Amino acid sequence: MTDTQVSPSRFAAGASAVDATWRAVLLGIGLLAAVAAPFVLYPVFVMKVLCFALFACAFNLLIGFAGLLSFGHAAFFGAAAYVSAHAAKVWGLTPELSILLGTLCAAALGAAFGVLAIRRQGIYFAMITLALAQMIFFLALQLPFTHGEDGIQAVPRGHLFGVIDLNQPLSMYYTVLAVFLFGFAVIWRTVHSPFGQVLKAIRENEARAVSLGYRTERYKLLAFVLSAGLAGLAGATKALVFQLASLTDVTWQMSGEVVLMTLLGGMGTLFGPAVGAALVVTLQNYLAATQWPVTVVIGVIFVVCVLLFRRGIVGEIAQRLGGRRP
């Protein structure tokens, strides 16, 4: 081999090293931006972005890597918000215990939903999850502890581990940031584990995965429970941020929003759902102060992205960058 020739394996190793370097650089920039964000932007707004980013990433774990489209993920998000708010306000639990309890309840609800829905595929699976989520909505409307249309208001934030006062905006913000990083780390580890590789195989060709000896229903159920638990983690944290748990957290519109966030950012990518959530939340907050109809504008943007950027923002960027390599 001459000096001007490069073996394919050596080129692939070099490209992989460059990709890893760029990912590390972008991750570092993102962390620095997240740490500095409350000094530049309104902290509550950034906390809302982080909560919905975690919600979208949890949903993406199910649809993007397991290939399961759920139209009822708001059930886990909202149920955890109600449980966490009730535990903090009525039972007087500390913030960390309230969030943990809400997360566990969402995971348990996900296990119940999964057992009923996981044996169906495609549109049937999506419709079952939507129907079950509507049951949770009507329970939230009728149960006495949820206070109906008023919701659970004036939820105390309390002191984290009995020391950190979460009524201070910066303390609350960095707590939410820590929760988001923890949830994102769980998703990243899951995707890059042997379990995650099996999920991708099921997404691509479930029949082939079954022929290789994998019990696909068990893998899909575990993915469903994990996604539900992480969605509950986002909902429980949001309840403390806004000191409120309301019916808007469990409506079918909320399930639709998280689908929109995931598709806009890039389904099947790790960072795409977070980008999509940031875009949607920013548009909602900006357009709320204008005469423009929020749903119409976001709908137009969604249609444009579907027509021109079918892989989503992050997915399209990754594809174009990858296509430039020899």
pLDDT at position 25 over 80: no
* Average predicted confidence (pLDDT) for the chain: 85
Q: CA separation (Å) from 52 to 113, 116, 169, 254?
A: 22, 26, 18, 10
pTM, 2 dp: 0.88
What pLDDT sits at residue 15?
Answer: 45
Average confidence (pLDDT) over 132-148? 90
Query: For residue 139, what pLDDT band results from cuts at 50, 70 and 90?
Result: very high
pLDDT: which is higher, 321 or 41:
41
What pLDDT sits at residue 268?
Answer: 84
Instruction: Count CB-CB contacts under 10 A for residue 235.
Output: 34
Query: For residue 20, what pLDDT band results from cuts at 50, 70 and 90?
Result: low
Give the helix ranges, DSSP H, for the chain.
8-36, 43-63, 74-89, 95-117, 122-142, 169-191, 194-204, 206-211, 216-242, 252-265, 272-287, 294-308, 312-323
Q: CA separation (Å) from 179 to 85, 184, 315?
A: 17, 9, 25
Least reliable range by pLDDT among 124-128, 225-229, 290-294: 290-294
pLDDT at position 324 over 50: no
pLDDT: which is higher, 133 or 295:
133
What pLDDT sits at residue 14?
Answer: 47
Angle made by CA atoms 163, 168, 169, in degrees to the nearest 5: 130
Query: For residue 148, what pLDDT band results from cuts at 50, 70 and 90?
Result: confident
pLDDT tens digits, residue range 252-311? 889 888 998 898 888 888 888 998 899 889 888 888 777 777 778 777 877 877 777 777
**Cα distance between residue 62 and residue 57, in whole Å:** 9
Residue with tokens 């995965």: 209
Compute the chain's Rg from CA coordinates.
Answer: 21
Domain spans of the chain?
Answer: 40-251
pLDDT at position 4 over 50: no
What pLDDT sits at residue 52?
Answer: 94
Instruction: Count CB-CB contacts under 10 A for residue 214.
Output: 15
